[in-house]
Structure 1
Amino acid sequence: MNLWYRRKMPTASSHRRFALSAACASAILASTLVVPTAFASAPARGIEAPRNGPTAQSCASGVSTYVHDVSDDSDGVLRKFLDWDPLTGNATGSLHDTGVSAPLDPYSRFFTGGHSIIYVVTGEGALKTFKDNTASGGSLLTPVRDYGGDWNTYGTIWSGGGGRIFALSHAGSLDVFSVASPSSGSGAITKVKTVAATNPAVIAMESANDVWAQGSKIYTLRRGIADRLGEVKEWTYNEAAGAAPFGSASVVVTGVGTKTLTGWSPGPGTIYTVGTTPDHSGVASSYTGTTDLMELANRDVGGGIHGDVHADVAACLASPPADAKPVLGSAPPEEPAPQAVSDDSPDPAPQNPAEFTGKFTLGDGSPGAGLPVRVEAIDVTSESSDESELTTLGTAVTAADGTWKVALPATLPDDVRQAAAANGGAINAVAHVDGQTGSGQVMRGTDFVVAAPASAPATARALVASAAEDDAPSKLRPVTDAMGQESEQPNEVQTAYSWASRDELNSLDTLGERALPEYQSDTSGIPQGDPFIVKGVDTKSMKVHPMDGGCDKTKSKVIDTQIRYTAVVEGHAAWDSKASVDYDTKMSTNVEIAVKTGSNWTIEGSATLGSAMSVTTGYTNMGPHFAKQWRVPIEYKKIRETWKCNYGKNTYYRYRIQGGKYKVPNSGAVGKYGKDVRNKDGSAGYYKSPASHRAWVARGSYFQLTKNRSTKFSGAVSTFGIKLGASTQYDKDHKQRITAGSKTNARHDIWGKNDKVSGKPGVFYSF
């Protein structure tokens, strides 16, 4: 149990959970109190205990591990992981996210008792038991018994799977309960002992950051503080008549870190720890050993683990067969699927890449018709802090459906031609629409677009085509009073509190391809309210007509720069395989652009980054049980824009964040690992995928993607406190590759996210 979680300040709706109750939890216990003469661990889940002690065949592998996720963006959910090789602490493997979950509100607490039994203390204090039947196709939380009572008397409750429940009261004493028929989850619960609050072991439990058990062994975790190393201590519980309940403790793990707050054990000889809060990374580490201090087995055994964690504790552990393929429950027979082959058909040519196109709408989605459009090149902004005027590439008027198009000039202006040459041939531009409502409210639409001359390299034309796949209508948004003045820009300390910056701390890719919020704040969480409402008036559906006098050309000035590592590709290698990704020779990526409209930021299109690189970067033959994004350093600019409207009477300011060159910071890495995406792999994702997306890789062979574009990473980068998305064009220099091993127990399966692997999958996953 994560003690931070139980000790955090209660909200008004959770007072009942944390209130000290005069009712005794033992009032719910109807059976006669029986004090056993000895305490022993129960046999492993679902296995008969051998008469002469456990054997390797009777011990457990594939132990279920549960996480109560109560993170900021969760309404409370219990997630199930599969600990495939707990004996070694998954030294060469990982905790597998099964994709199985069930709602469990944030005001409830849970612990496990072995035998797939899950105990839940509700927000009202009632104790309930559930059975995890997912291995046989059933529910994760199948109700067994409602014991009722008020277990909120206890601040921390846990079990080691040996028929005992340990409950640390708010008053400091430790109550121990016996569970009749622990394998059923329905037996009577009887209090058998109370250990005084003055007992050294109980004092250690009360002051620990976390406490859990495995059989008769109770563990206390204290995180490191300043120069004090964090550690895990082991206490042995004893119920023998006349014996002390606890002897002296032994330290079993040291150096767990200053951010480690949670621990658990799937069975004897293995301990896992994770820093869940306030670290946010959620990366678990494992330790193994049977005598003295345990040794670090795997520093990164799983990611995205946020909240309270308990395992379905086994009495003894064993490693699975060397050729066994990790799967939840019984592995179904292999389904028919083609062998993975590459698509050798030529890339389709984009529709007229030498043309800028787009569509403007009102806030309610109806067309913004009859409005003047100005298209200006944005890569011509000076590298210095001097203000410069953007170069106009053409003008148009929106059609009745809001669409518009502007062809590239037959002869490009010199500054645009030079910028395009430095960008691999692609030309980035911004399209503006300016208008006003009948009441005089100024409205402006912005769309960042890309084009390339017919003579541009194929890579540039391909980037134009991939940018067009994301082309969505851009809304006309109200120009508020705040845009009539320069705003003071937040510093990095302030932007660290933004939603984007906090999400960046998470080791797991929490966004995938989900759309980013329409509005972002660079100093706090997701903005609330409706920005289309100005001074109490909703502007979303107001008719917009051209502005009197229009607006002049945009002037821009670089006011700040940051180098941020940006996800450009990812690789996957689950069971018996290796992953490689390449990002070589040149850039080939589209990165979104954010603009600050009023007080909030919005994504309004993207820029193509096709500039030359002087390095080769990526990773090779990583795995098995490996999946991470690869990031490269890109320089981002914050640019202040100035323009005047209504015959020059009104001056407006706006800010944009735009990606630019590949640039390695001083003493920085040429590329680095990004978010953990192992949760996309494995049996859960494979059996949920469309059958047409599946294929397999022959033993000892490889398969790679070298055409079309990658999946779009919604959370590719956080810069200036704002999250931007990105996608990369696959080619001979940018690819995702998997190499299958030689194990013969099962074939190596892969599947495309968006299409068959020989089509436009975006990325392929591994099982």
Structure 2
Amino acid sequence: MTALLAGSIAVPTALSAPTARAAEACRSGIPTYVHDVSSESGGVLRKYLDWDPLTGNAAGVLLDTGETAPLEEYSEFFTGGRGIIYVKTSEGALKTYKDNSATGGSMLTPVRDYGGNWNAYERMWSTGDNRIFALHQDGALEVYAVANPSSGSGAISKVRTVPRTDPAVAAIAQADDVWSAGQVVYTLRRGVADRYGEVKAWRYSDSASGSPFPNGSTTVVTRVDTKTRRGWSPGPGTIYTVGDTPDYTGIATSYTGTALMDIANPEVGAGIYGDVHADIASCLASPSPDIKPSVGPVPPQTETPPKAVTDGSPDPSPQNPTQFSGEFVLGDGRPAAGLPVRVEAVDVTSESTDEVQLITLGTTVTASDGTWTVPLPATLPESVKRAAADNGGIINAMASVNGKTSSGHMMRGTHMVTAAPATAPATARALVAAAAEDGSEPSKMRPITDDLRKEQAQPTVAQTNLSWASRDEQVSVDTLGDKPLPEYQSDTVREPQGDPYVVDGVDIKSLIVTPMDGGCDKTSETVIGTQIKYTTVAEGHAYWDAKATVDYDSKLSTSVEVAVKTGTKWTIEGSVTLGSAIGTATGYSNRGPYFAKQWKVPIEYKKIKEKWTCNYGRDTYYRYKIMGSKYKVPFGGVVGKSGKDVSSRDGDVNYSKSPKTHRAWVEAGSYFQISKNRSTKWSGAVSAYGVKLGGSTQYDRDHKQRITAGNYKNARHDIWGKNDRVSGKPGVFYSY
């Protein structure tokens, strides 16, 4: 990775390094490393690029290079400048590595193993040149000299010991984090309770008589809150801070200045979890503003993709919006043939605690391949008409199929389906088409276990806060994208749930299912709780000099998955489509540059108890589901808000990997927008009652993703569709 030089050399600040390295050219593009131990792999070193360290990326962000290397969870690392990385292993050995990833090599290329028992030190860090500081377990600070520090192979020798009674050493021992930029040592103390913390600077001097920190400390950052636990510097005059792993937000903040530093960028990075160190430079610079940021060689632009032009053609109508259809399969994926299907309207469920019997819209029998179709009735019941009118003309329903195995185990399959009358608005028909795409996977029949013969106690809020879905809500970066959710989730624990088809020690997923004697009756439902949860409905991307706009105006236009609980396990069984008018406008306009975030709106979710009887009314069963109902702003709440950071999808690395047919470019000063077809499907659109649900949005005149290119003329602004060309069905487009 090549660091870029500014047009003019920056003047070192009052806290700059001594003249030993002052002759070096000031640098931008500083590699920054994060030891992420939240990974299931047991620890990984991630590499970012600090593109404009002199300003603390005031108008930018830390760029994720995508480069990683395994680094054992219980090891520790620090940087030595010039691409040298020190690793103290869990066994106590000290090793050096060279970052050769910029030239296609390993980020941790071995250089030297110093061995020894370095576990005697509680923390170690480097000045970025020829000194290493090590805080001993007995409280003393030991200073080491490094011969030939640029190679990583020079001898390391102790030059002095500073007693624990020294004020600087006492501050280092009490600090939440310590690092250096040249001969300046920084100590960070986080805020406690209602008191703010601070960052102090201590200048080290080899030649000083007595204490090597003769001038005491200077406070350089104030108002450090309770979440701030880590800090680092790419060089003099710039500091970054971030919450440590337990915080889960991972939002980094930058500060710059020569004395008391000011915030340069309150959100210069997201998803920064773990210990952080930069490849320290003696002098910092800013790159030329019209150079397109790149974490590697700039992709060649010899091939010119088409200019992006918004396709104004109308949305295609679904071929048959006036019918419900689907497919049921057994647990092993084979067709569930010859079984009775009942389709019931679900939007008629009241918000009171009254039990409501669902209205049957039609019945049929599954075909030999497990498929089924039920047309909308020619005349709809009045309650269904009212619910459809409130939902933009769309009718949500639940298809259910019941049977029993040869061993006598009862099986039930359900799937949420959507239809619209022929008289429904065009937007409703488009939403039905989108819902059909979302719900195209067949639905499995699952065992009805004995614990469904009685009502279940519901977990508390404290219990659901421990679930995987609830914890993922706290993470600032969207790591799911459109990856499939776990097939079975728990609403109280983080671990994925196992196979529900093993009943009494027997795997019944491959047993043939036949109709039940007496069948099952209509479903009754009772709303047992409601929650308003902010749900992802859009996202925008604007890299480099661009601006992003997301419009989500006038009416709801979203499909959200429905979770159903069988026994102790929650699984997704289709989605409901929410199309009611919302009477307000939300979104964001002209955010950027270096901006990529999701947009969320408040949607009310119902937790519903189902009840039905089978075997001529002899057996009663209870089941629970979580279902979105309507846009609803909480009292005193915001009408919409920013969601997770999705900037890791942008930039040159992702552009280089994108299919060439998906690429296009936006002329300087012009814009491009998507205003038709379906958005991408977000697997982690929302967490409701401790369960993760996916969702998607229909683009139209009120729901758009837009990018406006800047005015730099020497480089075009590139975009590419995630799933297709940008004028086709891209789902979402990314930016470089």
Regarding TM over 0.5, the answer is: yes
2:395 to 427, 443, 450: 427
Deviation, structure 1 residue 41: 5.4
Cα pair 2:526 2:609 within 8 Å, conserved: yes
Cα pair 1:42 1:161 within 8 Å, conserved: no
SS at match of 1:461: helix
Give a deviation string over 1:435-480, Cα, whole Å, max 9, x none: 1222221111111111112222111111111112222111111111
Cα pair 2:197 2:226 within 8 Å, conserved: yes
SS at match of 1:113: strand
Aligned to 2:730: 761
Aligned to 2:563: 594
Q: Distance in 2 between matches of 1:368 and 1:124?
A: 57
Cα pair 2:405 2:512 within 8 Å, conserved: yes
Cα pair 1:751 1:764 within 8 Å, conserved: yes
SS at match of 1:469: helix
Deviation, structure 1 residue 208: 1.4
Q: Distance in 2 between matches of 1:408 and 1:168?
A: 75
Q: Distance in 2 between matches of 1:277 and 1:67?
A: 11
SS at match of 2:228: coil
Deviation, structure 1 residue 205: 1.7
SS at match of 1:568: strand
Deviation, structure 1 residue 762: 0.6
Q: Indicate the larger mover: 300-309 or 684-693.
A: 684-693
Deviation, structure 1 residue 350: 1.8
Cα pair 2:556 2:578 within 8 Å, conserved: yes
SS at match of 2:655: helix
2:448 to 456, 463, 479: 479
Q: Distance in 1 between matches of 2:289 and 2:400?
A: 61
Cα pair 2:290 2:712 within 8 Å, conserved: yes
Deviation, structure 1 residue 330: 3.6
Cα pair 1:43 1:315 within 8 Å, conserved: no
SS at match of 2:95: strand
Q: Does 1:686 align with 2:655?
A: yes
Deviation, structure 1 residue 241: 6.2
Deviation, structure 1 residue 548: 2.0
Q: Indicate the larger mover: 101-110 or 558-567.
A: 101-110
Deviation, structure 1 residue 73: 4.1
2:371 to 400, 403, 415: 403
Q: Distance in 1 between matches of 2:307 and 2:330?
A: 49
Deviation, structure 1 residue 43: 7.0
Q: Does 1:136 align with 2:89?
A: no
Q: Does 1:447 align with 2:388?
A: no
Aligned to 1:238: 205
Give a deviation string over 1:517-545, Cα, whole Å, max 9, x none: 11111122134432222222222222222
Cα pair 2:559 2:575 within 8 Å, conserved: yes
Within 5 Å, give how 1:451-600 maps onto structure 2: 451-470=419-438, 471-600=440-569
Taking only aligned residues, the RMSD between alpha carbons, in angstroms, comes to: 1.7
Give a deviation string over 1:219-274, Cα, whole Å, max 9, x none: 11111111221111112222226342223222111111111111110110111001
Deviation, structure 1 residue 342: 2.1
Q: Indicate the larger mover: 480-489 or 578-587.
A: 480-489
Aligned to 1:213: 180
1:349 to 295, 298, 317: 317
Compared CA separation, residues 528 and 123, structure 1 to 2 (3 A): farther
Q: Does 1:191 align with 2:158?
A: yes
Aligned to 1:365: 333
1:152 to 115, 119, 125: 119
2:283 to 312, 316, 328: 316
Q: Indicate the larger mover: 528-537 or 78-87.
A: 528-537
Cα pair 2:490 2:497 within 8 Å, conserved: no
Compared CA separation, residues 675 and 42, structure 1 to 2 (3 A): farther
Aligned to 1:127: 94
Cα pair 2:17 2:181 within 8 Å, conserved: no
SS at match of 1:459: helix
Compared CA separation, residues 454 and 748, structure 1 to 2 (3 A): same
Compared CA separation, residues 191 and 612, structure 1 to 2 (3 A): same
Cα pair 1:82 1:96 within 8 Å, conserved: yes
Deviation, structure 1 residue 346: 3.8
Deviation, structure 1 residue 312: 0.7
Cα pair 2:17 2:184 within 8 Å, conserved: no
Cα pair 2:307 2:666 within 8 Å, conserved: yes
Give a deviation string over 1:266-285, Cα, whole Å, max 9, x none: 11011100112322100001
Q: Distance in 1 between matches of 2:598 and 2:347?
A: 28
Q: Distance in 1 between matches of 2:169 and 2:508?
A: 62
Q: Distance in 2 between matches of 1:416 and 1:104?
A: 58
Q: Distance in 2 between matches of 1:509 and 1:85?
A: 25
Aligned to 2:591: 622
SS at match of 1:629: strand
SS at match of 2:119: helix
Q: Distance in 1 between matches of 2:423 and 2:65?
A: 49
Q: Does 1:177 align with 2:147?
A: no
Aligned to 2:614: 645
Aligned to 1:14: none
Compared CA separation, residues 381 and 332, structure 1 to 2 (3 A): closer
Cα pair 2:17 2:282 within 8 Å, conserved: no
Q: Does 1:633 align with 2:602?
A: yes
Aligned to 2:6: none
SS at match of 2:654: helix
| Letter in structure 1 aligned against 2:104 | G
Aligned to 1:112: 79
Aligned to 1:738: 707
Q: Distance in 2 between matches of 1:433 and 1:171?
A: 70
Q: Alignment identity in percent?
A: 67
Deviation, structure 1 residue 40: 6.0
Aligned to 2:683: 714
Q: Distance in 1 between matches of 2:326 and 2:690?
A: 28
Cα pair 1:710 1:728 within 8 Å, conserved: yes
Q: Does 1:416 align with 2:384?
A: yes
SS at match of 1:365: coil
Q: Distance in 2 between matches of 1:476 and 1:567?
A: 29
Q: Indicate the larger mover: 522-531 or 707-716.
A: 522-531
Deviation, structure 1 residue 317: 0.6
Deviation, structure 1 residue 380: 0.8
SS at match of 1:261: strand
SS at match of 2:353: coil
Deviation, structure 1 residue 428: 0.7
Structure 2, gaps ≥5 residues long? 1-15
Give a deviation string over 1:343-377, Cα, whole Å, max 9, x none: 34443332312221111122222222222111111
After the TM superposition, list the runs of 4 or more consecutive aligned residues in structure 1 that deviate by more than 4 angstroms: 39-44
Q: Distance in 2 between matches of 1:410 and 1:396?
A: 16
Q: Distance in 1 between matches of 2:731 and 2:592?
A: 21
Task: State the number of aligned residues.
Answer: 718
Q: Indicate the larger mover: 68-77 or 351-360.
A: 68-77
SS at match of 1:460: helix
Compared CA separation, residues 717 and 138, structure 1 to 2 (3 A): same
Give a deviation string over 1:658-677, Cα, whole Å, max 9, x none: 11111111111111111111
Q: Distance in 1 between matches of 2:409 and 2:296?
A: 62
Give a deviation string over 1:546-566, Cα, whole Å, max 9, x none: 222211110001111111111
Q: Distance in 1 between matches of 2:32 and 2:617?
A: 65
Q: Distance in 2 between matches of 1:149 and 1:368?
A: 66
| Letter in structure 2 aligned against 1:444 | R
SS at match of 2:81: coil
Cα pair 1:694 1:752 within 8 Å, conserved: yes
| Letter in structure 2 aligned against 1:263 | G
Compared CA separation, residues 532 and 175, structure 1 to 2 (3 A): farther
Q: Distance in 2 between matches of 1:688 and 1:329?
A: 13
SS at match of 2:168: helix
